[in-house]
Amino acid sequence: MDPFAKKMIQGSLAFAAVMLLMFAVLTTIYVHMRPPCSEKVVAEQISPGGRWNATVLERRCGENSPFQTHVNLHKADEPLQPGYFSGRNQEGEVFLVDLDAQSAPLTLQWISEQQLIVRCNACVSEVRREAKPRWQNVEIRYELR
């Protein structure tokens, strides 16, 4: 093979590899900066001892998807940690309901440092919901109507 043609092929392959790498890096950055899910903090309640923070958030993952309202627990001195690509705050999620925040007016009440009550007056049995009774050393009680 002609040495010039060999260098042209090698140069073309190197250029293609650099373009592919650049595409992968820019796609990763774009997906991180513009995640498919948006989260909006609706309310927060810090535990009596100041160790835990219960946060009510409203989530929407795309134009045509329904709103979800959920409660996350995390240490009061640490921020919520959304997923790198999804934008969803799933770490510490203890309650989820398929309603927007206005339709599902959630209220939070700390009884003690280890006891939280989550109240929802619009969380009827027909609405899909998930509830965890415990998170780390916090016991969670639900009053759903």
Q: How many domains does the chain have?
A: 2
Q: What is the pTM of this model?
A: 0.74
The pLDDT of residue 27 is 86
Which pLDDT belongs to residue 131?
82
> Same structural domain for residues 51 and 5?
no
Q: Which domain holds residue 8?
A: 1-34
Nearest partner of 109 among 58, 143, 68, judged by Cα: 143
Pair (25, 91) in one structural domain: no
Task: Judge whether residue 84 has pLDDT over 90.
Answer: no
58 shares its domain with 21: no
The verdict on 17 and 77 lying in the same domain is: no
Say yes or no to pLDDT of 127 above 70. Answer: no
Judge contact between 131 and 123, C-beta under 8 A. no
